[in-house]
């Protein structure tokens, strides 16, 4: 009975077959009648006691943790068994015919163990293979039922559990996090009315306009098929060959070559649904909608040289950052903002809202902030959750609808299809991380790896033997069809609407909306990528495309490649391109964020003879502000401070190289400074912090290191370096405040000298 099952460990309230009698005699509007085991006190206590939740405790009932309890396994205090639950006494030796004899075929324990191991891997995702994920919840600020009947927006303060996976696109599962690439930003909402997957990126536009081109795009960017080179990089001939023959990719290329493609952290990137979607209210009235996720911590990116070095220093840089922030209770947050517009408005826009290579400037349709997403729990198991989670653009819920964007239309097919081979069959929705919290009842049956046990004779509809159940949800269900404005029947056609032919106006909009430092970075990124390209004609063709965007951009890139700008690529349309004013919101620097220096990493370089009092004061001050200070020295052990006390060295320079820190402080102390000034690693630390435009504070004699590497505090143009301080021990307090302010503002690009010729 349901009662008995509820006490058992294997009970699953989400599965139709386990609803017992209630499932056979459903009432209209009935959902899950049996109390879920996650509601019990023991579960809550386990969650609270779990070291996984770090300093903070997720509010009860806000993430699917409770629902996953039914499948959690924990070997603590348990004896070892086979998969059949048979106790295993010896996990060291296989069963042999005599101590030196052959292994017996009957050793089912060995065979089960090896067989399972042999099949441990599943195919990686064909794109977005490398990713990291976390649990959390979305909280709606308002009741949005005038706009949509989607469950997450039904009431102010309503919380919906989410699981979010961030990813790179091109690299394989074990590739580095900090490569130049688009980042995936996929959110699974476990809503009351089924799962809604908002499968977006950290860039609001895409390379191509039609799903027909997706396999070509991916084949071009992935490692070349003959030699599987290069890994996780677009800087090779086939990508740029394809891109230069696809002018529609120009706008996206601008974003991909910008600092957006080398984020400092998953926590400091925006997310976008990219396509135009529809919101539909209970009356069936629809509006168009674009989804934006804005990080509460603000946007921040790496610089390219740093990103390349982090790839070697810590290939898991973003994965570790997300994990550590959540363990520390510094829960990453994003506000969800909507751009709402009608079909009539859309008709007046100078671009087509069904074209995924175009964005809607915030000046044209302002953002309405509607809620906040908080990630507050790390997964228990990478494979079971992060790897097996299956996002599908087809997963929408009543109140959300597609538009006719031809890229989106193709995606609706692709994701469901890919999971079938990746996860081994059509029942991937039953894998715990994918199972909806809303109950599932239908007549779909069987298939590989079926988990639920549907009861009864009836697996068809209409039926009378099952009392007509499960019955159609009727008006309480999906209103998708009603949401579409009536379309006159049209002939089938392979083609594109007129406005899809204009490829450059928004690429130009992006360019003119960047700060000079960001523009320089874009030029340098094109220069780097095309320098790696071996075919001169490809380089030239790409620059001829850029000539349609902006002459300074094209000249900067061509100059870096050693040739003159070729004639601009012919346009695909005679229509005049729309003119846009700069949109400051498109600059990464326009979103400073509001979390100060929380979780930012500061290296305190010190040697023997360091001034312990000042070091400890600075350390405590940074810690109190939420930053992560670390005492860094050439090797591990303890420092003998000038006052005779001892200070633990937390990390060595080789294990914690400069690129892993957001800023550096050189501690005071004559002997300490003299020692560090002779250490190549310490000097390189300062050089790199400077090169990457990070704040540098030298206390007292610590300035020796700076002077040794030629840093005087003046910039090339004769002005003072605004993020570098050399202060006497007595003036530390004031300087530390300025240092912290600079750290909150990330970097001072005024230092940069690469690209000043532009």
Residues that bind ligand HDD (CB under 6 A): 125-128, 131, 165, 167, 184, 186, 199-201, 206, 211, 214, 274, 356, 391, 407, 410-411, 414-415, 418
Structure tokens at 539: 């380089």
Min. distance of Cβ 372 from ligand HDD in angstroms?
A: 21
Residue among 417, 304, 322 nearest 131 (CA): 322
For helices 536-546 and 551-561, angle between their N-to-C axes, nearest 10 degrees = 160
- Per-residue b/e over 435-456, b at no fewer than 16 CB within 10 Å? bbbbbbeeeeeeeeeeebebee
Compute and round to an integer the Cα radius of gyration of the chain: 29
The nearer residue to ligand HDD, 203 or 604, going by C-beta atoms, is 203
Min. distance of Cβ 432 from ligand HDD in angstroms?
A: 16
What CA–CA distance (Å, rounded) separates 668 from 120?
53
Min. distance of Cβ 549 from ligand HDD in angstroms?
A: 21
- 195 catalytic? Reply is no
What CA–CA distance (Å, rounded) separates 605 from 618?
12
What CA–CA distance (Å, rounded) separates 159 from 459?
35
The nearer residue to ligand HDD, 208 or 641, going by C-beta atoms, is 208
Residue 69 backbone dihedrals phi, psi, to 5 degrees: -55, -30
The nearer residue to ligand HDD, 200 or 634, going by C-beta atoms, is 200
The nearer residue to ligand HDD, 12 or 393, going by C-beta atoms, is 393
Which neighbouring-strand residues pair with 133?
Answer: 165
Structure tokens at 679: 């250490």
DSSP-based three-state secondary structure for 414: helix
Cα 232–Cα 270–Cα 253 angle in degrees, nearest 5: 50
Min. distance of Cβ 331 from ligand HDD in angstroms?
A: 20
The nearer residue to ligand HDD, 128 or 260, going by C-beta atoms, is 128
Which residue's CB atom is positioned nearest to ligand HDD?
Answer: 184
Residue among 198, 280, 196, 273 nearest 484 (CA): 280
Min. distance of Cβ 177 from ligand HDD in angstroms?
A: 14
For helices 214-221 and 406-422, angle between their N-to-C axes, nearest 10 degrees = 60
Min. distance of Cβ 349 from ligand HDD in angstroms?
A: 19
Residue 135 backbone dihedrals phi, psi, to 5 degrees: -90, 160
Min. distance of Cβ 507 from ligand HDD in angstroms?
A: 17
Question: Pairing state of beta strands 696-699 and 724-727?
Answer: parallel
Choosing from 19, 36, 128, 692, which is the catalytic residue?
128
Half-sphere exposure of 712 (CA within 13 A, CB side): 7
Residue among 645, 689, 686, 637 nearest 669 (CA): 645
Residue 268 backbone dihedrals phi, psi, to 5 degrees: -115, 30
What CA–CA distance (Å, rounded) separates 263 from 591?
13
CB-based contacts of 299: which residues, under 8 Å, 6+ apart?
263, 268, 269, 270, 588, 589, 591, 593
Min. distance of Cβ 391 from ligand HDD in angstroms?
A: 4
Which neighbouring-strand residues pair with 137?
Answer: 161, 374
Min. distance of Cβ 628 from ligand HDD in angstroms?
A: 28
Neighbours of 673 (CB within 10 A): 28
What CA–CA distance (Å, rounded) separates 175 from 667?
36
Min. distance of Cβ 347 from ligand HDD in angstroms?
A: 22
What CA–CA distance (Å, rounded) separates 44 from 31?
23
Q: Where are the alpha helices (DSSP H) in 235-316?
A: 237-244, 250-256, 304-313
What CA–CA distance (Å, rounded) separates 530 from 543?
9
Min. distance of Cβ 392 from ligand HDD in angstroms?
A: 7
Choosing from 12, 195, 201, 294, which is the catalytic residue?
201
Neighbours of 231 (CB within 10 A): 14
- DSSP letter for 25, please: S
Residue 53 backbone dihedrals phi, psi, to 5 degrees: -85, 0
Burial degree of 739 (CB within 10 A; 0-12, 13-18, 19+): buried
The nearer residue to ligand HDD, 263 or 607, going by C-beta atoms, is 263
- 201 catalytic? Reply is yes
Min. distance of Cβ 70 from ligand HDD in angstroms?
A: 23
Q: Where are the alpha helices (DSSP H) in 547-631?
A: 551-561, 612-624
The nearer residue to ligand HDD, 255 or 725, going by C-beta atoms, is 255
What CA–CA distance (Å, rounded) separates 311 from 316?
8
Neighbours of 358 (CB within 10 A): 27
Q: What amino acid positions are annotated as catalytic residues?
A: 128, 201
């Amino acid at each position: 009975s349901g009662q008995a099952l509820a006490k058992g460990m294997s009970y699953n309230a989400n599965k139709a077959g386990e609803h017992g009698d209630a499932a056979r005699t459903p009432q209209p509007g009935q959902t899950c009648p049996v109390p879920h085991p996650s509601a019990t006190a023991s579960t809550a206590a386990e969650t609270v006691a779990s070291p996984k939740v770090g300093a903070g405790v997720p509010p009860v009932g806000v993430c699917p943790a409770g629902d996953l309890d039914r499948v959690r396994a924990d070997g603590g205090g348990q004896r070892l068994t086979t998969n059949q639950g048979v106790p295993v006494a010896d996990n060291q030796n296989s069963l042999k015919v005599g101590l030196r004899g052959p292994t017996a075929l009957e050793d089912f324990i060995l065979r089960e163990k090896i067989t399972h191991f042999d099949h441990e891997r599943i195919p990686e995702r064909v794109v977005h293979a490398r990713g990291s994920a976390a649990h959390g919840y979305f909280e709606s600020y308002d009741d949005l039922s005038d706009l949509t009947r989607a469950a997450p927006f039904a009431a102010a303060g309503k919380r919906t559990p989410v699981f979010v996976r961030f990813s790179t696109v091109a690299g394989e599962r074990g590739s580095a996090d900090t490569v130049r690439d688009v980042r995936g930003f996929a959110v699974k909402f476990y809503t009351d009315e089924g799962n809604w997957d908002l499968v977006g990126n950290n860039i609001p536009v895409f390379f191509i306009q039609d799903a027909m081109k997706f396999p070509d795009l991916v084949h071009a960017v992935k490692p070349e098929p003959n030699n599987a080179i290069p890994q996780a990089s677009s800087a090779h001939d086939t990508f740029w060959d394809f891109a230069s023959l696809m002018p529609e990719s120009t706008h996206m290329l601008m974003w991909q070559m910008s600092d957006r493609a080398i984020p400092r952290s998953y926590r400091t990137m925006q997310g976008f649904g990219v396509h135009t979607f529809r919101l539909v209210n209970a009356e069936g009235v629809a509006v168009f909608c674009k989804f934006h996720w804005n990080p509460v911590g603000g946007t921040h990116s790496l610089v390219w040289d740093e990103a390349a070095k982090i790839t070697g220093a810590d290939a898991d840089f973003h994965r570790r950052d997300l994990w550590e922030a959540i363990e520390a209770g510094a829960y990453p947050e994003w506000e969800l903002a909507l751009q709402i517009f009608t079909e009539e408005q859309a008709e007046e826009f100078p671009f087509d809202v069904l074209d995924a290579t175009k964005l809607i400037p915030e000046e044209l349709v302002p953002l309405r902030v509607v809620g906040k997403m908080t990630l507050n729990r790390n997964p228990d198991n990478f494979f079971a959750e992060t790897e097996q989670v299956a996002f599908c653009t087809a997963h929408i819920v009543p109140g959300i609808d597609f538009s006719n964007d031809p890229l989106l239309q193709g995606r609706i097919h692709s994701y469901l299809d890919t999971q079938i081979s990746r996860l081994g069959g059509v029942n991937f929705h039953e894998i715990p991380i994918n199972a909806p919290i809303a109950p599932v009842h239908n007549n779909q049956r069987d298939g590989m790896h079926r988990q639920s046990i549907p009861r009864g004779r009836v697996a068809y509809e209409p039926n009378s033997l099952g009392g007509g159940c499960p019955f159609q949800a009727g008006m309480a269900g999906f209103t998708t069809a009603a949401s579409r404005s009536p379309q006159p029947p049209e002939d089938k056609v392979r083609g594109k609407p007129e406005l899809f032919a204009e490829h450059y106006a928004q690429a130009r909009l992006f360019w003119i909306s960047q700060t000079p430092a960001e523009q320089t970075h874009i030029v340098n990124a094109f220069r780097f990528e095309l320098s790696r390209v071996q075919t001169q004609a490809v380089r030239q063709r790409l620059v001829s495309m850029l000539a349609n965007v902006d002459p300074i951009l094209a000249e900067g890139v061509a100059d870096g490649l050693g040739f003159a700008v070729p004639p601009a690529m012919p346009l695909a349309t005679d229509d005049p391109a729309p003119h846009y004013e700069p949109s400051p919101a498109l600059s990464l620097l326009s979103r400073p964020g509001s979390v100060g220096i929380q979780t930012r990493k500061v290296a305190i370089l010190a040697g023997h003879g360091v001034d312990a009092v000042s070091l400890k004061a600075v350390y405590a001050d940074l810690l109190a502000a939420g930053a992560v200070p670390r005492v860094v020295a050439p090797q591990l052990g303890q420092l003998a401070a000038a006052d005779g006390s001892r200070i633990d060295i937390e990390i060595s320079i080789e294990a914690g190289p400069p690129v892993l820190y957001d800023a550096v402080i050189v501690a005071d102390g004559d002997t300490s400074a003299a020692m560090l000034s002779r250490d190549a690693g310490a000097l390189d630390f300062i050089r790199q912090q400077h090169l990457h435009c990070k704040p540098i504070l030298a206390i007292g004699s610590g300035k020796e290191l700076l002077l040794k590497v030629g840093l005087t505090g003046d910039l090339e143009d004769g002005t003072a370096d605004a993020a570098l301080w050399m202060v006497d021990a007595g003036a530390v307090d004031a300087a530390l405040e300025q240092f912290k302010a600079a750290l909150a503002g990330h970097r001072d690009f005024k230092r940069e000298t690469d690209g000043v010729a532009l």
